[in-house]
């Protein structure tokens, strides 16, 4: 059984096909990294799996069932996490707000709910961090707390949308390692979107690359190649591999790194077409 499958699925925003007759599957208990240029459809694909964006043709299935909004089998960590730095709530309170399904009414949580929150925080090593104000945490610490929020209800599929944005290499490494451990220990399938492959390359089982309305999934060494990425980017691409690092080059531009470098100082990035999903 697949955790997530697309069968000739077309997702259309306005007059543009973000995905066109795309077919692929994320297996149960598999860690898949999802990459693609801005506007390739990474966020939109996740929102379609959540039932928030309609499918124009074909079908999407989650754990061999139809897509439904509010599916408890899916844990979701959205890309847009602005405003957290100004909150005075503790990390525990922020996670608790999701446990009750409304924004800040968590005073009446029962013991079982509190144990579930503590369990989720323990899974990401954030129980102590969660006692501090969410606004006082570093970016990497905040991401760990928010990742625990996605674990509430013990989902079987995690959709993590750009959790590495604006993190330094050490915090990126920590978040990826936690995701890998969650996949292994909790037997959860993970779809983890990112702008750059290298932080993920030694942790993921396969890579899903989006571009030009198409989706290609497979082992990194088979997907991240010049011919495949030239088709997805619609430009001549050369892939340079140095040990375990991949450089995706269009002329002298590293299209995974340089195209998004301008976003980093602002604390978040925009997948331009996805932002309107």
> pTM, whole model, 2 decimals?
0.89
pLDDT attached to residue 81: 59
What integer pLDDT is reported at residue 276 of this predicted model? Answer: 40
Percent of the residues in the chain that have a pLDDT greater than 70, as a whole number: 87
Q: How many CB atoms lie within 10 A of CB 215?
A: 23
Rounded mean pLDDT of 233-256? 93
CA 186 to CA 152: how far, in whole Å? 12
Q: What is the structure's pLDDT at 63? A: 95
CA 264, distance to chain mean position in Å, is 17
Give the residues across from 211 on adjacent strands: 214
**265 compared with 246, residue with greater pLDDT:** 246
- Domains for the chain: give ranges and CATH numbers: 2-73+157-276 (3.40.50.300), 81-154 (no CATH)
Segment 238-267 shows an average pLDDT of 76
**Residue 166: C-alpha distances to residues 41, 50, 55, 243 (Å):** 20, 25, 31, 25
CB burial of 260-269 (b: ≥16 within 10 Å; e: otherwise) equals beeeeeeeeb
Tens of pLDDT, residue by residue over 59-117, are 999 998 999 999 999 999 998 655 565 667 899 999 998 877 644 455 568 899 999 99
């Amino acid at each position: 059984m697949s955790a997530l499958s697309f069968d000739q699925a077309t997702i259309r925003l306005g007059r543009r096909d973000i995905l066109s007759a795309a077919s692929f599957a994320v297996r149960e208990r598999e860690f898949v990294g999802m990459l693609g240029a801005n506007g390739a459809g990474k966020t939109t694909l996740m929102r379609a799996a959540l039932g928030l964006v309609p499918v124009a043709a074909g079908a999407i299935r989650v754990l061999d069932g139809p897509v439904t909004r509010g599916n408890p089998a899916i844990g979701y960590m959205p890309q847009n996490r602005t405003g957290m730095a100004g909150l005075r709530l503790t990390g525990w309170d922020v996670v608790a707000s999701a446990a009750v399904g409304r924004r800040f009414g968590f005073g009446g949580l029962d013991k079982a709910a509190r144990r579930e929150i503590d369990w989720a925080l323990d899974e990401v090593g954030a129980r102590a961090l969660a006692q501090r104000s969410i606004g006082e945490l570093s970016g990497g610490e905040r991401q760990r707390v928010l990742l625990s929020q996605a674990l509430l209800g013990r989902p079987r599929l995690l959709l993590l949308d750009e959790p590495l944005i604006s993190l330094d290499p050490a915090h990126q490494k920590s978040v990826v390692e936690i995701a890998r451990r969650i996949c292994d220990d909790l037997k959860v399938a993970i779809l983890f979107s990112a702008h750059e492959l290298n932080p993920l390359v030694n942790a993921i089982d396969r890579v899903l690359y989006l571009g030009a309305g198409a989706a290609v999934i497979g082992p990194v060494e088979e997907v991240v190649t010049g011919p495949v990425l030239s088709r997805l980017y619609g430009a001549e691409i050369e892939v340079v591999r140095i040990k375990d690092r991949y450089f995706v080059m269009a002329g002298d531009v590293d299209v995974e790194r340089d195209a998004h470098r301008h976003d980093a100082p602002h604390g978040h990035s925009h997948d331009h077409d996805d932002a309107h999903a």
